[in-house]
Structure 1
Amino acid sequence: MPHDDLPAPETGLVLTHFLTVADVARARAFYTGVLGGEVVLAENPCIVRLANGWIIMNPGGGPTPDKPDVTLHPPTDPTTATSFLNLRVADIQACYEEWSAKGARFLTPPIDRGAEVRCYLRDPDGYLIEVGQATGMLHGVYADPPAGTG
């Protein structure tokens, strides 16, 4: 495997996203077969290059010496999220149609929010993924403040 495929910078840093998954093969199939990523490393950990970033996936587990009080597990409550993957695309309708045809489960079709058109889907472990296309923000129309902030 070429070194260039690994998220291992010679200087500075690169941003990757780690997901704790219940089934590595199932998660790998979703991020490659549905979203179009490329397998860099199949297991231990699984690394998938997705566009200009990497998704790193491994099963959960208990504490380790470098994280002595932390247990990793996939999401357990689909109605709450503390973070999510945010994918920015050039043509959201095309992505919605293509990924739906490949089995992606979207919460809604794309919705025009003024600043952007966006929709959300879940991966096989229940992780929330936002898919958005900048529209209004390219012309000075920005998002409303979050609910409850004023």
Structure 2
Amino acid sequence: MAFTTEKYPGVVADTPAATRGFTLNHSMVRVKDPERSLAFYTGVLGMRVLRRLDFEELGFSLYFLQPPGEAGAPPAETGERTVWTFSQSGLLELTHNWGSEDDPDVQYHNGNDAPQGYGHICIAVPDLDAAMKWFDDQGVDFIKRPEQGKLPDVAFIRDPDGYWIEVIEPARLPDLGR
């Protein structure tokens, strides 16, 4: 029998027909300084910016980033690329409220401090040791290294706004949670 879902109270086993074709397109985090955040996400994590959308009347910009290694060449024409971007899955949206970079009082909640809510995004890497060396060389702030704590082979780093990013090597995790 083919796997469809793990079963727990509240889980609907059969996908409702009306939801077929739904995709998780993106998750959004607010950033104080887009230049600093874009340098981190593109230069340290290797993501590429697919599209920037500016909303002058509302005073904010959206940056849609794609993880490295994702297949497919986006269209060059901006309208087609916008449609293509919103057709992808697993993107990260950085939202910049204009002027926040100059406001010393602006600070975003990372979701892990009290009261807890949002937790983190996760990046899978092919070689966790090589990634840790890369992050050390880039001066990345670690929350937890793979050898620390009761969750081995899982690291957490912090982005420029304090958001947590889990870093894993999938091949190291077959016994995770057993």
Q: Normalised by the shorter chain, which TM-score bucket? A: 0.5 to 0.7
**Which of these two proteins has the greater Rg computed from alpha carbons?**
2
1:129 paired residue number: 165
Residues 77-98 of structure 1, C-alpha deviations (whole Å, 9 max, x = no match): 8745522111222211111111
- Give the aligned CA root-mean-square deviation in angstroms: 3.1
Q: Normalising by the residue count of structure 1, what TM-score does the alignment of the two structures yield?
A: 0.66
Per the alignment, residue 87 of structure 1 pairs with: 123
Structure 1 unaligned runs (5+)?
1-10, 62-72, 145-150
Contact 2:120 2:166 in 1 (8 A): yes
Gaps of 5+ in 2: 1-20, 54-60, 71-89, 99-106
Contact 1:46–1:56 (CA under 8 A) maintained in structure 2:
yes
Count of aligned pairs between the two proteins: 122
Measure how far apart 1:39 and its partner are: 1.6
SS of the residue 1:45 aligns to: strand
CA distance 1:15–1:131, change in 2 (3 Å): same
Question: Is the 1:116–1:132 Cα contact (8 Å) retained in structure 2?
Answer: no
**2:96 alignment partner in structure 1:** 59
2:64 is the alignment partner of 1:27 = no
Quote the Cα distance in structure 1 between the aligned partners of 2:31 and 2:52. Answer: 14
Counterpart of 1:45 in structure 2: which amino acid? L
CA–CA separation in structure 2 for the residues paired with 1:16 and 1:77: 18
| Aligned-residue identity in percent | 23
